[in-house]
Structure 1
């Protein structure tokens, strides 16, 4: 609970609109206009054409109003993006029937599936920059649901927040990759699976046991043709790690956090440090060049052998 004498923060208009505490416009167009209609129109444009197609003038045009009419309701495009995001993410699903507070893993898994589904429905959400801790109602509802899923686990609040950041990071990465496939497939007018099939054919043709022995074994095993879903695997391994951590905490152990670099700006700016880092970069470049020449020599030798 906030202190009674705490000053109420001044909110950006978009955030205030999301909370329903913004003042109404003094006057509007003669025909009926509302924040809801403006946001609906903007989301419809973004769903169809992407976030880059959304502008105040485009939204106004789709509603049959002038751009200035919109500014009486939404004073800047940034405010409109806040409201679009709120509508796009919606509210998190309720826990599945029959799950209790101790079943944190299945609750997080369910929330994860729902979050990926939201990104599939509104991929433009991934184009809105992350700007720190969310402060709008629907964003906070998702955060609250994930924290509540961990409420019965023997963790402190810092640990719960760190875990949901870990899980949502994995989910966002999955959504970003899936979205990239959809964009590439759409631009080429093909099915996303066709992209994987084409890349698998390239790997099969050019990856040799001499140049890339470990990768060739994966190619021969069919990993790139019909392997298991790597994103489902990744999320489950993240949850495995969380389960192990919770088990250790239940046993009274609190694993130490990883060490933090103690390098000061003065050390980082030291001339000798800069020179050493430069030497490392140059050595890495020489190593890359040597590997490239090695691969080229192997290809030339193979070509000569085939001719002979």
Structure 2
């Protein structure tokens, strides 16, 4: 029956396979997952592999299959452990949603490689489901039905992931900011010549730049405003 379940699901919930006869295992799934997280933290998502974890522990790659069935299973376990459990949320759906998004953005900032983990469907592992659970509990205090509450949850999750992705890419960008004095001096006359009046005004008032500034709060507030309209309706 477990063979029909998605990779990593049983192990993530602490259901261990029946131990085969033979020498006592020298490693544990917990050790393997911890090493995978360490590799992700130090070298990024692409560094997380059965081969590298095996080398770290001085065993063969084939020996790793005594503990996890595949690379996919390893990634599922590493991802769920690395995302960790969400914080306790404040009362009220709106303060709760604000804290939830900030916590998720912070988690991605701490471990940017989490953004590289493929999304393969709805969350099914303990920590990932706990993130969904606490936010759905906050929405349960509103008139939203389950379908709409889940939709709002996905909206907040998508917003947090999108913001974190942009922040990560911009943080790794060594290019000259678009608001640099030289860039502005070059662009403004050309924007005027080719009829970009709105962007000319933004450049002139120094409001067009590469910084995220208050984009997180602005976008989150607008998103919550939209959810509030749905709740009130």
User: Under a length normalisation based on structure 1, what TM-score does the superposition of the two structures give?
Assistant: 0.68
SS at match of 2:208: helix
Query: Cα offset for 1:8?
Result: 8.6
Higher CA-based Rg: 1
The alpha-carbon distance between structure 1 residues 36 and 214, as it changes in their structure 2 partners (threshold 3 A), is same
Which whole-Å CA distance do the structure 2 matches of 1:108 and 1:223 have between them?
A: 28
* Whole-Å separation in 2 of the counterparts to 1:153 and 1:30: 52
- Cα deviation, residue 199, structure 1: 2.1
Q: Quick check: 22-31 or 134-143, which moved more?
A: 22-31
1:149 maps to which of 133, 138, 143: 138
How many Å apart are 1:181 and its aligned residue? 1.9
Residue 80 of structure 2 contacts residue 126 of structure 2 at CA under 8 Å; is this kept in 1?
Answer: yes
Measured after TM superposition, the shift of residue 32 of structure 1 is 3.0
Tell me the equivalent position of 1:52: 46
Q: Deviations over 1:229-248 (max 9, x none)?
A: 22221111000111112112
Cα pair 1:18 1:137 within 8 Å, conserved? yes
What is the distance in 2 between the residues matched to 1:140 and 1:216? 47
Matched residue, 1:223? 207
CA–CA distance in structure 1, aligned partners of residues 231 and 185 of structure 2: 42
**Of 78-87 and 48-57, the range deviating more from structure 2:** 48-57
> 1:123 Cα shift?
1.1
Q: CA RMSD in A?
A: 2.2
Match of 2:197 in 1: 213
Which residue of structure 2 aligns with residue 237 of structure 1?
222
Describe the superposition over 1:248-282 as per-residue Cα deviations: whole angstroms up to 9, x where unpaired: 2xxxxxxxxxxxxxxxxxxxxxxxxxxxxxxxxxx
Q: In the comparison of the two structures, how many residue pairs are matched? A: 227
- Mapped partners of 1:54, 1:246: distance in 2: 42
Unaligned runs of 5+ in 2: none
Match for residue 199 of structure 1 among 178, 181, 184: 178
Tell me by how many angstroms 1:166 deviates. 1.0
Per the TM alignment, residue 118 of structure 1 is displaced from its structure 2 partner at its CA by: 1.0
Q: Output the TM-score relative to the length of structure 2.
A: 0.89
Distance 2:53 2:66 in 1: 14
Q: Deviations over 1:121-148 (max 9, x none)?
A: 1111111121121111111111111111
Structure 1 residue runs of 5 or longer lacking an equivalent are: 1-6, 186-194, 249-308
Mapped contact 2:7–2:72 kept (Cα < 8 A): no
For residues 34-78 of structure 1, what are the alpha-carbon distances to aligned partners after superposition, in whole Å with 9 as ceiling and x for unaligned?
Answer: 101101111111111111122211111112221111111011100
CA–CA separation in structure 1 for the residues paired with 2:131 and 2:164: 17
Residue number in structure 2 paired with 1:164: 153
Aligned to 2:77: 83
